[in-house]
Amino acid sequence: MKHRKPKDGSTSPRRNHSLPKCPTGIQGLDEITCGGLPQGRPTLVCGGAGCGKTLLAAEFLVRGATQFDEPGVFMAFEETEAELKANVESLGFNLAGLVRSRQVVVDYVHIERSEVQESGEYDLEGLFVRLNHAIDSIGAKRVVLDSLEALFASLPNEAILRAELRRLFRWLKDKGVTAVITAERGREQLTRHGLEEYVSDCVILLDHRVTDQIATRNLRVVKYRGALHGTNEFPFLIGAEGLSVLPITSLGLNHTVSSERIATGIPRLDAMLGGRGFFRGSSILLTGTPGTGKTIVAANFAQAAARRGERVLFFSFEESPNQIVRNMHSIGLRLEPLVKGGLLRFHSARPSLYGLEMHLATMFKEIVAFQPRVVIMDPITSLMDAGTASESKGMVTRLIDYLKAGQVTSLFTSLTQGGHVLQQSEAAMSSLMDAWVLLQDFEGNGERNRVLYVLKARGMAHSNQIREFLISDRGIDVVDAYIGVSGVLTGSARVAQGALEKAAVLANQQEAATLKREVERKRSALERQISALRSDYESEALELRRIAEQVGTRTSVLGTERTASGILRQADIKVATIVQGKPRPGRKS
Amino acid sequence: MKTTKTSRPTRALEKSLATRLTGRYVLRLFVAGATDRSCQAVQNVRQLCDAKLKNKYRLEVIDIYQQPELARDNQIVATPTLVKAWPRPVRRFIGNLANTAGLLVELDVGLRGSARL
């Protein structure tokens, strides 16, 4: 009855909200399907050989019985009950126990093709009766048919079979059980025998593909009538606890954010980031060409965080933990006490060890186990080689999502090839990153120098300056690069430029000193002249005084002599006095 | 599981064989309810066996609606299904037996075999 309604199309939007869903309990699948499989309807799970159809179906049933109190019927067309139990056991499901406790019924349907001969009209009522009996015997809510297509191989008349399968799916709907039907992937269509034609409510496609020798399992909800669902292809894993479809986290962008800032361990870099470092819970990308010191910056960041008492998880895809510890020791970073103290943990794995999704799952596991505040991935690019660009971007997105949800600060280093600074992959990845610090080489004058600058830092004032970045046995030192008319100068060129400037200053100083000395000399010459003139003047004045004195003396002497002669000549005093006033005329006369 | 499934009819068979004549045919017809198709099948089998085997056969007609567990035990998928349980090999004829050629060949082979014996 139900299945006819959505076909009208007119009522479907209203039904979106009311469509009941049956949770699978499979990690991640319920998130993608926004709640589970359509309740009371059949779902088709198709995929190639070995992609996990049976396990998905079995997990749906087992979790239904154990977590949702919904008993189930497993109708196996390919495996016997014993085989099925053993296979599912390896995933940690106790199917045998559930069968004993009457929560699951396993019915193995087997038709020996060589025994069977067709002789007239028939139908599949036998199958219906068996299924009905199994469902009713335990009150099952879930049914798995794995895989119906085996019937095509064992029953000769395809026309009858198709008609009966159509009837079967309708019957399952009427019965109100949530069914999972598995089918082999076809060449041109979703299933080999076109079962998708009959099961049209929900179709899930599983895929197991090998790219560059690395196998990845993918799951995609091709169709989900009357409900919202994630349409992307999601990688999934078959692990010790059953299937887990990634993302484990939500697909939304609604993490809480922190305005707390954390230091990078490099004071000058903090200064470039508004003086206080990165935001907690942000994602940081550190790109650079080989040998620019990405790991060193990352290790500094790790050390700074661990010294604050935060747990740091360091994923290394190139170096072993011991190698990193040793190498960092050479620049004065002592990581081993932090490792011993349990604040820093390394996880090293070769990128090609397994597929991307397995890496992601391992990382999730590590993160969940260690509960770090800071996660470092060094380098993310070599991990990206393990998958295609889009896969790895999806993976990084999921990882960042997951970390952000937990307010974990993440630092990713990324290796770029020389020359091109902005590689395609980085440009794609950068949109996921909150901050991006670039490390770069400058070659010239027969040397190679490192510089560092902040390309972007969301939500904070940051320096636009290029800084030179020196690595010594005392650690990292960030210094101002020389920026002038001739461009950015680093290393010895910077030092040479400094020397050049110093020389210029010295020359100027010397010139000034010379000038000063000259002035001084002139001043002293002037003073010498002044004193010479003064002494001239003084000697002349002295002469004048002497002459005046002489004159006086002579006059008085003359007067005295006149008086004496007057006395002698007995002249009047009057004459004498006149002569005294005018000695010369008197003398002349 | 498979062994128990087959062993039950086998044991029953052995028991019946112990008491009855060897070479006797054991046929089981599984039908689903009293539909036209079921009736046709029963009729067709009876006719053929009466004509060919006279009293040398035993036919059990089982309605799987009544005994659904027997459908499972006997691996019945299609109905009607005629199972020739004895003599070996086991043969299954699915359909209403409107086309009896296959069954005839099977029975003939069996008869000829038993005649030679």
ipTM of the complex: 0.77
In a domain, A307, yes or no: yes
Q: Of A245, A279, A307, which one is at a domain's C-terminal end?
A: A245
Q: Which residues in chain B are closer than 8 Å to A121, comparing Cβ atoms?
A: 37, 95-96, 98
Residues A320 and A463 in one domain: yes
Note whether B68 contacts A130, CB cutoff 8 Å. yes
Do residue A474 and residue A546 come from a single domain?
A: no
Residue A507, chain B, CB below 8 Å: the answer is no
Residues of chain A with pLDDT under 70: 1-18, 212-214, 246-255, 386-390, 418-428, 484-487, 571-589
- Residue indicated by tokens 């604050």: A308
Q: Would you state the pLDDT for residue B111? A: 57
Within this chain, do residues A340 and A475 fall inside the same structural domain, yes or no?
yes
Q: Is residue A294 part of a domain?
A: yes
Same domain, A469 and A503: no
Distance (Å) from the C-alpha of residue B31 to the closest C-alpha of chain A? 8
CA distance A111 to chain B (A): 7
Asked whether residue A176 is assigned to any structural domain, the reply reads: yes
Same domain for A223 and A83: yes
Give the domain CATH number at A84.
3.40.50.300
- Per run of 10 residues, the mean pLDDT along chain B (length 117 residues) is 59 63 77 88 87 82 89 88 83 84 72 48
Cβ atoms within 10 Å of A174's Cβ, excluding its own: 12
CA–chain centroid gap for B81, Å, is 8
Boundary of a domain, candidates A245, A270, A291 = A245
- Asked if the Cβ–Cβ distance from B94 to A119 is below 8 Å, we say yes
Q: Is B85 on the interface with A (CB under 8 A)?
A: no
Cis peptide before B89 (omega within 30 of 0): yes
In chain B, whose CA is at the least distance from the CA of A113?
Answer: B92
Query: CA torsion sign, A415 to A417 to A422 to A424?
Result: negative
How is domain B2-116 classified at the CATH fold level? Glutaredoxin (3.40.30)
Is any Cβ of chain A less than 8 angstroms from the Cβ of B3? Answer: no
Parallel, antiparallel or unpaired: strands A202-211 and A482-484: unpaired
Is the same domain home to A227 and A134? yes
Cα–Cα dist B79/B76, whole Å: 7
**B95 contact A CB<8A:** yes
Pairwise CA distance, residues A369 & A371, whole Å: 6
Residue pLDDT, tens place only, A540-569: 999 999 999 999 888 888 888 888 887 777
User: Tokens for A482?
Assistant: 């020389």
Contact A395, A364 (CB under 8 A): no
The answer to whether the Cβ–Cβ distance between B91 and A117 falls below 8 Å is yes
Which pair of tokens denotes residue A520?
A: 């001084």
Q: What is the pLDDT of residue A490?
A: 75
Contact B90 A115 (CB under 8 A): yes
Overall domain count for chain A: 3
- Whether residue A489 is contained in a domain is answered as no
In which domain, by residue range, is A525 found? 495-581
- Number of A:B CB contacts under 8 A? 113
Q: Chain B contacts of A117, Cβ < 8 Å?
A: 91-94, 102-103, 106
SS3 annotation, A355-412: CHHHHHHHHHHHHHHHCCCEEEEECHHHHHCCCCHHHHHHHHHHHHHHHHHCCCEEEE
Which residues of chain A does B72 touch, with a Cβ-Cβ cutoff of 8 Å?
Answer: 107, 130, 133-134
Q: Please judge whether A121 and B37 are an interchain contact, meaning their C-beta atoms are less than 8 angstroms apart.
A: yes
The tokens for A336 are: 């081993």
Domain map of chain B by residue range? 2-116
Same domain, A476 and A501: no
> Do A307 and A338 belong together in one domain?
yes
C-alpha A484/C-alpha A482 separation (Å) is: 6
Which of A80, A133, A154 lies nearest to residue B2, judging by beta carbons? A80
Model pLDDT, residue A144: 93
CA distance B66 to A467: 88
In this structure, the answer to whether residues A347 and A459 fall within a common structural domain is yes
In B, which residues are within 8 Å of A128 by CB distance?
32
State the smallest CA–CA distance between residue B78 and chain A in angstroms. Answer: 4
Instruction: Looking at the structure, tell me whether residues A158 and A302 fall in a common domain.
Output: no
Distance CA A47, CA A235 (A): 14
Asked, for residue A331, whether it belongs to a domain, the answer is: yes
Touching check for A424 and chain B: CB below 8 Å? no
Provide the pLDDT for residue A428.
64
Residues A176 and A266 in one domain: no
Strand ranges in chain B using DSSP code E only, listed in sequence order: 25-31, 57-63, 81-86, 91-94
Per-residue DSSP letter, A110: -
Cis peptide before A267 (omega within 30 of 0): no
Is the domain of A364 the same as that of A474? Answer: yes
Contact with chain A for residue B91, Cβ under 8 A: yes
Measure the CA–CA gap between A406 and A370, rounded to whole angstroms: 13
